[in-house]
């Protein structure tokens, strides 16, 4: 097995490999035992039964319409959601119809096949598969030759539906699908000069777009020289994606974007290894892949929560099918156990059929990788899966877990990092705390994505600016943006009953803040259930320094302290060492789904109201009562 990215064969050699291994279907075709045997599995039935019911209810409904006005709306307003809501719903409905035809019995197939074919025609007829937010130069919002994340996803979905459901797709329709994919995707990617901007980015776009484009070609394209040219070009750009991870396997994009970028990269590896009969790989011989694979599971918290620094999502579960593949391919017991636990959760609770990517690509793999019933019966639930403390030195972040003497479960994460990270927020020194599987001190994560948020106005948004994070505010100045605005880890002690993490935040602030030294230290006593945070500062000239604490729940005064009424437990935040509560504020923002939301911001300061050149701001958190 040869690693395409480390020792790439020549284009001629790749074409020869593809010719020698031709005829391997990307996925089992309709009617194969691999599909029919799944109907009786409880973990599949938990979502297949409601999926068929939804597909039946939608059978005679037209898909939501993507009008010219919707395509053009982003160019006029900068708002993404009015277009994206119907766009993704169209793909979910197509996926539901396709899976109902694939996994349903004969009666279901006969009933829903016309609905599937209408939906397939309708999505194929879209003039442009790219989001208007990614078609930067066209006021119409349309460009059939732009390949973005979602045009690539669409291509892969169409190709795999041709492979799996080809016998029930009319030949003329199949030919139109193949023609569009060859012209607008395969030849467009292979021949474009210069290459698409994403082809060498060190983040998720690189992996996701390559997976969609190459996965589709590996599935259906019989011009081996064209596919070889595509793979040769990808071999030049995909290493850049892996360079976006630290040697410790970490990525500042966080577990949510890990699922997207590395998830699609892993699926491309599965497609490549399968199509070439194990001759070519993206994984083979790269030890870093194993460390990357373990990153996101270690960043997941109880209750379906995640460590969500930067634009990460606060809630969600990792893909059970992705972890199943990684556990098997990398022979990793932790990943296998995580996957089976997630499949057990799915069996008991079903799946959310309205998640944005719940399309044919997602659902087909979710079904095919379902573990055997006896493995599910023996598995732990996600809540029972105990993970270790972890420190990622390249990321400058810790995640720790422990149970106090009263039975409360503490989960704490903090970061140093720098302010030019992927999906960056100006958040060096930020932290979060969950108690008993529910958030107490939070990270906002991704707000509503608009044009302005991805412009030079980014740090006007509460979610991305320092004042939206639990970090210091020095001499009236928030942190600067840029790689030079960085934290340095001074100490990281994890793994025992006492966790200590200390960082130097001095360089994160602009020169105007006159900050000569700012050290932040967290100490978590797991058994006692006590977290202390201390900011020790030295200024060139006397000025005010405050430390912010961000939470989403009601906050009330309790003498000199405050009570945070978190969902699972009330916390008491008490100032230490001459510190006092300066203010409690309510701040508005728009969440990632475009809804109005609020956070509470607690401002702490040194007890002496007169500005000084040095001081300490410190507090402790305990479960109240």
Q: Which residue did the predictor score with more confidence, 625 or 187? A: 187
**Rounded distance between C-alpha atoms, residue 375 and residue 558, angstroms:** 50
Q: Does 467 score more than 70 pLDDT?
A: yes
Report yes or no: 219 and 163 within 8 Å, Cβ to Cβ.
Answer: yes
Angle between helices 149-165 and 204-220 (to 10 degrees): 30
Beta strands in 234-351 (DSSP E): 280-281, 300-301, 305-306
Sign, Cα dihedral of 452, 150, 230, 239: positive
Contacts with 563 (C-beta within 8 Å, 6 or more apart), sequence order: 555, 556, 557, 570, 571, 572, 573, 624
Burial (CB count within 10 angstroms: exposed 0-12, middle 13-18, buried 19+), residue 472: buried
Share of the chain above pLDDT 70, in %: 99
CB atoms within 10 A of CB 497: 11
Report yes or no: 403 and 411 within 8 Å, Cβ to Cβ.
Answer: no
Q: Say if residue 136 is in the same domain as residue 260.
A: yes
Across 78-101, average pLDDT: 97
Which of 384, 400, 420 is the last residue in one of the domains?
384
Q: Say if residue 449 is in the same domain as residue 357.
A: no
pTM for the structure as a whole: 0.93
Q: Say if residue 400 is in the same domain as residue 366.
A: no
Can you read off the two tokens belonging to residue 186? Answer: 């395969």
Q: Does 625 score more than 80 pLDDT?
A: no
Q: Predicted confidence band at 382 (pLDDT cuts at 50, 70, 90)?
A: low
Q: Predicted confidence band at 373 (pLDDT cuts at 50, 70, 90)?
A: confident
For the chain, give the number of residues: 625
Which pLDDT score is estimated for 385?
Answer: 62
Residue 568 lies in domain = 390-623
Contacts with 369 (C-beta within 8 Å, 6 or more apart), sequence order: 320, 321, 324, 325, 339
Q: Say if residue 557 is in the same domain as residue 514.
A: yes
Angle 618-580-399 from CA coordinates, rounded to 5°? 30
Q: Does 384 score more than 70 pLDDT?
A: no
Q: Say if residue 344 is in the same domain as residue 427.
A: no
Q: Say if residue 447 is in the same domain as residue 318.
A: no
Q: Say if residue 560 is in the same domain as residue 426.
A: yes
Sign, Cα dihedral of 37, 40, 42, 48: positive
Report yes or no: 447 and 462 within 8 Å, Cβ to Cβ.
Answer: yes
Report yes or no: 487 and 428 within 8 Å, Cβ to Cβ.
Answer: yes
Cross-strand pairs, 614: 538
pLDDT in tens, 270-293: 999 999 999 999 999 999 999 999
What total number of domains does the chain contain? 2
Mean pLDDT, the chain, as a whole number? 95
3-class state of residue 284 by DSSP:
coil
Question: CA–CA distance from 467 to each of 382, 445, 461, 483 (Å)?
Answer: 34, 13, 9, 19
Q: Say if residue 362 is in the same domain as residue 434.
A: no
Contacts with 493 (C-beta within 8 Å, 6 or more apart), sequence order: 499, 500, 501
Question: CA–CA distance from 311 to each of 68, 420, 550, 553 (Å)?
Answer: 30, 13, 16, 21
Q: CATH number for the domain including 423?
A: 2.70.98.70
Which pLDDT score is estimated for 318?
Answer: 94
Kind plus residue range of the DSSP H or E element containing 564: strand 561-565
Q: Say if residue 482 is in the same domain as residue 373.
A: no
Which of 384, 400, 422 is the last residue in one of the domains?
384
pLDDT in tens, 184-242: 999 999 999 999 999 999 999 999 999 999 999 999 999 999 999 999 999 999 999 99
Q: Say if residue 233 is in the same domain as residue 349.
A: yes
Report yes or no: 510 and 497 within 8 Å, Cβ to Cβ.
Answer: no
Which pLDDT score is estimated for 356?
Answer: 85
Which of 367, 384, 401 is the last residue in one of the domains?
384
Q: Predicted confidence band at 381 (pLDDT cuts at 50, 70, 90)?
A: low
Q: Does 464 score more than 60 pLDDT?
A: yes
Q: Predicted confidence band at 375 (pLDDT cuts at 50, 70, 90)?
A: confident
Question: CA–CA distance from 27 to each of 113, 157, 236, 262, 340 (Å)?
Answer: 19, 12, 27, 21, 22
Q: Does 378 score more than 60 pLDDT?
A: yes
pLDDT in tens, 487-503: 999 999 999 999 999 99
Can you read off the two tokens belonging to residue 510? Answer: 């602009």
Q: Say if residue 325 is in the same domain as residue 412.
A: no
Sequential DSSP letters for 399-436:
EEEEE-TTS-EEEEEEE--EET-TT--S-TT-EEEEET
Can you read off the two tokens belonging to residue 548? Answer: 């912010």
pLDDT in tens, 507-565: 999 999 999 999 999 999 999 999 999 999 999 999 999 999 999 989 999 999 999 99
User: 21 φ, ψ to 5°?
Assistant: -110, 15
Which pLDDT score is estimated for 136?
Answer: 85
Q: Say if residue 425 is in the same domain as residue 380.
A: no
Parallel, antiparallel, or unpaired: how do β-strands 280-281 and 2-3 relate? parallel
CA-based radius of gyration for the chain: 26
Q: CATH number for the domain including 65?
A: 1.50.10.100
**Rounded distance between C-alpha atoms, residue 28 and residue 575, angstroms:** 62
Q: Does 383 score more than 60 pLDDT?
A: no
Sequential DSSP letters for 478-505:
-PPPEEEEE-EEEEEE-SSSEEEEEEE-
pLDDT in tens, 582-611: 999 999 999 999 999 999 999 999 987 777
């Amino acid at each position: 097995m040869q690693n395409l990215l480390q020792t790439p064969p020549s284009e001629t050699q790749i074409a020869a490999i593809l010719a020698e291994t031709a005829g391997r279907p990307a996925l089992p075709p309709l009617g194969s035992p691999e599909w029919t045997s799944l109907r009786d599995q409880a973990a599949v039935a938990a979502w297949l039964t409601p999926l068929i019911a939804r597909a039946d209810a939608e059978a005679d409904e037209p898909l939501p319409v993507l009008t010219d006005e919707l395509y053009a709306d982003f160019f006029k307003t900068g708002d993404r959601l009015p277009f994206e809501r119907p766009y993704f719903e169209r793909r979910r409905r197509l996926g539901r119809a396709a899976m109902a035809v694939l996994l349903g019995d004969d009666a279901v197939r006969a009933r829903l096949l016309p609905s599937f074919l209408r939906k397939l025609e309708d999505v194929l007829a879209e003039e442009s598969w790219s989001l208007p937010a990614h078609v930067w130069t066209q006021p119409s919002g349309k460009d059939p030759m732009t390949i973005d994340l979602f045009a690539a996803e669409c291509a892969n979905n169409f190709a795999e539906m041709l492979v799996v459901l080809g016998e029930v797709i009319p030949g003329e329709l199949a030919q139109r699908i193949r023609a569009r994919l060859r012209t607008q995707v395969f030849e467009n990617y292979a021949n474009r000069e210069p290459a698409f901007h994403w082809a060498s980015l060190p983040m998720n776009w690189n992996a996701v777009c390559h997976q969609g484009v190459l996965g589709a070609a590996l599935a259906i394209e019989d011009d081996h020289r064209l596919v070889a040219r595509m793979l040769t070009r990808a071999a030049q750009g995909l290493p850049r994606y892996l360079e976006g991870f630290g040697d410790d396997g970490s990525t500042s994009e966080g577990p949510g974007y890990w699922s997207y970028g590395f998830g699609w990269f892993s699926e491309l590896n599965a497609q490549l290894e399968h199509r070439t009969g194990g001759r070519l790989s993206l994984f083979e011989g790269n030890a870093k892949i194993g460390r990357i694979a373990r990153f996101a599971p270690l960043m997941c918290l109880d209750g379906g929560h995640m460590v969500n620094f930067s634009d990460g999502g606060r809630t969600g579960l990792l893909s059970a099918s992705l972890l199943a593949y990684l556990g098997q391919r990398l022979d990793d017991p932790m990943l296998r156990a995580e996957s089976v636990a997630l499949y057990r959760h799915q069996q008991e609770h079903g799946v959310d059929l309205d998640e944005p990517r719940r399309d044919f690509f997602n659902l087909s793999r979710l079904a095919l990788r379902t573990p055997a019933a006896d493995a599910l019966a023996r598995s732990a639930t996600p809540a029972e899966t105990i993970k270790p403390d972890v420190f990622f030195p390249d990321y400058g972040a810790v995640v720790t877990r422990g149970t106090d003497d009263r039975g409360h479960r503490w989960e704490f994460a903090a970061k140093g990092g720098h302010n030019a990270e992927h999906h960056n927020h100006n958040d060096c020194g930020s932290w979060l705390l969950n108690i008993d599987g529910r958030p107490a001190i939070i990270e906002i994560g991704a707000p509503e994505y608009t044009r302005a948020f991805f412009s030079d106005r980014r740090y006007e948004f509460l979610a991305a600016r320092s004042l939206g994070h639990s970090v210091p505010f020095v001499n009236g100045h928030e942190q600067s943006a840029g790689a030079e605005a960085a934290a340095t880890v001074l100490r990281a002690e994890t793994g025992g009953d006492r966790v200590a993490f200390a960082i130097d935040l001095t360089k994160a602030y602009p020169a105007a803040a006159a900050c000569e030294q700012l050290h932040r230290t967290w100490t978590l006593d797991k058994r006692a259930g006590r977290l202390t945070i201390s900011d020790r500062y030295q200024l060139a000239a006397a000025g005010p320094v405050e430390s912010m604490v961000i939470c989403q729940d009601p906050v009330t005064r309790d003498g000199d302290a405050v009570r945070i009424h978190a969902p699972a437990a009330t916390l008491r935040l008490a100032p230490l060492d001459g510190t006092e509560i300066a203010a409690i504020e309510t701040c508005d923002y728009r969440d990632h789904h475009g809804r109005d939301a609020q956070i509470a911001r607690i401002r702490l300061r040194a007890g002496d109201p007169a500005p000084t050149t040095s001081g300490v701001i410190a507090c402790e958190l305990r479960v109240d009562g």
